[in-house]
Amino acid sequence: MAHGRFSAGPTRSEQLLFLTDDQLRQGIELMFFAYRGFTGDPDRILAKFGYGRAHHRALHFINRRPGLTVNALIEILGVTKQSLNRVLRQLVEDGLVESRVGRVDRRQRNLALTEKGRALEQELTAAQRRRMRAAFSNAGPEAVAGFRTVLEQMIDPEIRERVLGIVEGGRP
């Protein structure tokens, strides 16, 4: 199993209890660079259409939950209605997202990807899957489990359970 320079020194359990400021700084910097790599592939694809990361996030969650309401998407993304409306308007106008009147509550708007929207979302996700699959494969199963635990613990405690329900396929 691969061990990074980041883990040299005390035993694993001791290290988890105490990290130096330098180790924490390294972790922060690694997170910045990892995020840049993780988002870089989709950013290049999105740039061809004049889209940004907000468009990507909307496409991702609409794809995962066809029929998702605008309000539920606002809650998932943690954005304002105004900022989401700008993104959704563009995606609808470009034929990537359909917005339908709710069946139960006609005031609601239910969102779904069009065929064109699904194709773009799949292209974006494929790029990120390749990167994650390679990283997870190189790191090994223990590291993958540890990474998930670290990510879960970085989520604000007051929303952690709700977010984990979303990630695991539940509703917001």
Higher pLDDT, 17 or 40: 40
Q: Decide if 70 is inside a domain.
A: yes
Residue type at 35 in one-letter notation? Y
Which of helix, strand or coil describes residue 37?
helix
Q: Decide if 72 is inside a domain.
A: yes
| 6 has pLDDT over 80 | no
Higher pLDDT, 85 or 7: 85
Average pLDDT estimate for 75-94? 95
Q: Band the pLDDT of 2: cuts 50, 70, 90.
A: very low
Q: Decide if 169 is inside a domain.
A: no
What CATH number corresponds to the domain at position 118?
Answer: 1.10.10.10
Q: Decide if 144 is inside a domain.
A: no
User: What does the block give as tokens for 150?
Assistant: 């670290």
User: What is the percent of the chain where pLDDT is above 90?
Assistant: 76
Q: Decide if 150 is inside a domain.
A: no
Q: Decide if 40 is inside a domain.
A: yes
108 CB burial (10 A radius; 0-12, 13-18, 19+): middle
Q: Band the pLDDT of 7: cuts 50, 70, 90.
A: low
Name residue 110's beta-bridge partners.
69, 100
102: which residues sit within 8 A by CB, 6+ positions away? 69, 108, 109, 110
Domain span at 24 = 9-139
Domains: count for the chain: 1
Q: Decide if 128 is inside a domain.
A: yes
**Nearest-CA neighbor of 40 among 130, 127, 104?**
127
